[in-house]
Amino acid sequence: MGHVDTGKTKLLDCIRGTNVQEGEAGGITQQIGATYFPAENIRERTKELKADAKLNVPGLLVIDTPGHESFTNLRSRGSGLCDIAILVVDIMHGLEQQTIESLNLLKMRNTDFIVALNKVDRLYGWKTCRNAPITKAMKQQSKDVQIEFNMRLTQVITQFKEQGLNTELYYKNKEMGETFSIVPTSAISGEGIPDLLLLLIQWAQKTMVKRLTYSNEVQCTVLEVKVVEGHGTTIDVVLVNGVLHEGDQIVVCGLQGPIVTTIRALLTPHPMKELRVKGAYLHHKEIKAAQGIKITAQGLEHTIAGTSLYVVGPHDDLEHIKEVAMEDMKSVMSRIDKSGEGVYVQASTLGSLEALLEFLKSPAVNIPVSGISIGPVHKKDVMKASVMLEKKKEYGTILAFDVKVTPEARELADELGVKIFIADIIYHLFDQFKAYIDNLKE
Ligand code: GTP
Ligand code: MG
Ligand code: NA
């Protein structure tokens, strides 16, 4: 977790040997991601630091969250999924707004975390020591670099103190648990990555042995709904607890009501690959938590991302599970303006829809919403939005975030005079809409 552009995705890229960050629209993360790091890879990456480290856990499932201010809901969801967090701070910027927001989420849930003090390579005169343990890299630096590092570190420690938290460089930290550890890192040249991984594993093994023994009750969140060639509509999920099997009967929250279906296939990306990025998949008969999984099944088209998945056991009451599955939808419906006047808002997932609604509601933006939908813009959405044209022309508008517009919908919109603004960055929608209103006023 952490403020926008502190290097969360880049750190994962550095560990995975991937290039996910450069493929992101505007270089910002707008979805939750998931990657499995097997213990073997962690051992390889940490052997220079400690060759005989005991690794009792099979690996780590790492979740990536957006830092942009609009995605508080996804940070909240991400922090709710994790056993331990990495709070990423840019050494050149110190604690920023969403660092503090993330801190508050972690405090609220009493979640342990490690601070990655990232971008140390940006210290003036930094000498690259690719993938080196941080103390080794630090010894290579000139006096000036060390002085600047210490000055910035002290500032960050003071800022944490102002938030009521004690922090210390991890190798000087004698009271882990009361004092949070700081690991200096670079996502570009890899210094400190061995330290970060080893500390994560050691801390997890030391403090969470009991909590980590997995329980049988399935706890599973839908991250994304995606059409994949050869598989139809699939859902990406994070399985936090329990086991999923091929053939399990499941219930998910759908736009038009609960969806009851059967798991056709359980797929995962290869280890060290990001679930949210298209790639080759491995098939499984069953999967034990924790894992990021792509599920294929019939009838998933209207699944709403961000909701929970339920497995129907032999003695379960299906009707009750269907009711429980639909509860997540209630909070977002309550965001719609009671006056009935406002723009029509459409997004790819419940998570991004919530983010967009949150953004539109903020005082600086303040655009009322009369209708919502998830998925591509169809003719029916244009029809619904067109109702506003008679009440307030500017509200006869669809703000479409990260979704496609069907050609038929586009044609109908032109005919009726409904404006459709599309963007893959939330605040660009506001800019377009504002320019449109200003234009109307003139
Ligand atoms: P959001 O997901 O949008 O919140 O951002 P993020 O925290 O995932 O940051 P991201 O990985 O997108 O990195 C932001 C920018 O900082 C990119 O241009 C990276 O190349 C750069 N960057 C990240 N880590 C480092 C680092 O350790 N050193 C330097 N010099 N640049 C970095
Ligand atoms: Mg990112
Ligand atoms: Na970014």
Half-sphere exposure (Cβ direction) of 421: Cα atoms closer than 13 Å = 21
Residue 395 class from Cβ within 10 Å (0-12 exposed, 13-18 middle, 19+ buried)?
Answer: buried
**Ligand 2 ion local residues (Cβ < 5 A):** 8-9, 29
For the Cβ of 122 lying below 6 angstroms from any atom of ligand 1, the answer is: yes
Give the per-residue pLDDT at 328: 77
Give the per-residue pLDDT at 215: 67
For the Cβ of 322 lying below 6 angstroms from any atom of ligand 1, the answer is: no
What pLDDT digit, counting tens, does each position of 372-401 carry? 988 889 999 999 999 999 999 999 999 999
The answer to whether residue 211 scores a pLDDT higher than 90 is no
Give the Å distance between the CA of 28 and the centre of ligand 2: 5
State which ligand 1 atom lies nearest to the alpha carbon of 119: 27
286 or 301: which leads in pLDDT? 286
Give the per-residue pLDDT at 213: 60
The answer to whether residue 259 scores a pLDDT higher than 80 is yes
Pairing of strands 343-347, 369-374: parallel
Q: What percent of the chain has pLDDT over 90?
A: 67
Give the Å distance between the CA of 28 and the centre of ligand 1: 9
Which ligand does the CA of 90 lie closest to? 1
3-state secondary structure the chain: CECCCCCHHHHHHHHHCCCCHHHCHHHCCCCCEEEEEEHHHHHHHHCCCCCCCCCCCCEEEEEECCCCHHHHHHHHHHHHHCCEEEEEEECCCECCHHHHHHHHHHHHHCCEEEEEEECHHHCCCCCCCCCCCHHHHHHCCCHHHHHHHHHHHHHHHHHHHHCCCCEEEHHHCCCECCEEEEEECCCCCCCCHHHHHHHHHHHHHHHCHHHHCCCCCCEEEEEEEEEECCCEEEEEEEEEECEEECCCEEEECECCCCEEEECCEEEEECCCCECCCCCCEEEECEEECCEEEEEECCCCCCECCCCEEEECCCCCCHHHHHHHHCCHHHHHHCCCCCCCCCEEEEECCHHHHHHHHHHHHCCCCCCCEEEEEECCECHHHHHHHHCHHHHCHHHCEEEEECCCECHHHHHHHHHHCCEEEEECCHHHHHHHHHHHHHHHHC
Residues in the chain: 442
AA letter at 6: T
For the Cβ of 23 lying below 6 angstroms from any atom of ligand 1, the answer is: no
Give the Å distance between the CA of 70 and the centre of ligand 2: 13
Give the per-residue pLDDT at 335: 72
The answer to whether residue 271 scores a pLDDT higher than 70 is yes
What pLDDT digit, counting tens, does each position of 341-378 carry? 999 999 877 777 877 888 888 888 889 999 998 888 99
Which ligand does the CA of 191 lie closest to? 1
For the Cβ of 67 lying below 6 angstroms from any atom of ligand 1, the answer is: yes
What pLDDT digit, counting tens, does each position of 40-79 carry? 999 999 999 999 988 888 899 999 999 998 887 788 878 8
- Ligand 1, pocket-test mutation among 21, 30, 185, most atoms within 8 A of CB: 21
The residue whose C-alpha atom lies closest to atom 13 belonging to ligand 1 is: 7
For the Cβ of 244 lying below 6 angstroms from any atom of ligand 1, the answer is: no
What pLDDT digit, counting tens, does each position of 145-189 carry? 999 999 999 999 999 999 999 999 999 999 888 999 999 999 999
Q: Which residues contact 32 (CB under 8 A, 6 or more apart)?
A: 63, 64, 65, 66, 74, 77, 78, 223, 238, 276, 351
The answer to whether residue 412 scores a pLDDT higher than 70 is yes
Instruction: Please give the average per-residue pLDDT across 417-432, as a whole number.
Output: 88
347 or 190: which leads in pLDDT? 190
2 or 205: which leads in pLDDT? 2
Give the per-residue pLDDT at 212: 58
The answer to whether residue 327 scores a pLDDT higher than 90 is no
Please tell me the pTM assigned to this model. Answer: 0.81
For the Cβ of 99 lying below 6 angstroms from any atom of ligand 1, the answer is: no
Q: Which of 150, 125, 118 shows the shortest CA–CA distance to 140?
A: 125
What pLDDT digit, counting tens, does each position of 97-130 carry? 999 999 998 988 888 999 999 999 999 999 999 9
Instruction: Please give the average per-residue pLDDT across 321-343, as a whole number.
Output: 83
Which two tokens mark 147?
Answer: 């002085």
Which two tokens mark 323?
Answer: 């009711």
Give the per-residue pLDDT at 204: 85
Give the Å distance between the CA of 68 and the centre of ligand 3: 8
For the Cβ of 118 lying below 6 angstroms from any atom of ligand 1, the answer is: yes
Which ligand does the CA of 13 lie closest to? 1
Give the per-residue pLDDT at 209: 66
Give the per-residue pLDDT at 424: 79
Give the per-residue pLDDT at 364: 83
Give the Å distance between the CA of 305 and the centre of ligand 1: 26
Give the per-residue pLDDT at 338: 75
What does pLDDT average to over the chain? 91
β-pair partners for 160: none
Residue 210 binned pLDDT confidence (cut-offs 50, 70, 90) = low
Give the Å distance between the CA of 245 and the centre of ligand 3: 36
Which ligand does the CA of 4 lie closest to? 1
For the Cβ of 400 lying below 6 angstroms from any atom of ligand 1, the answer is: no
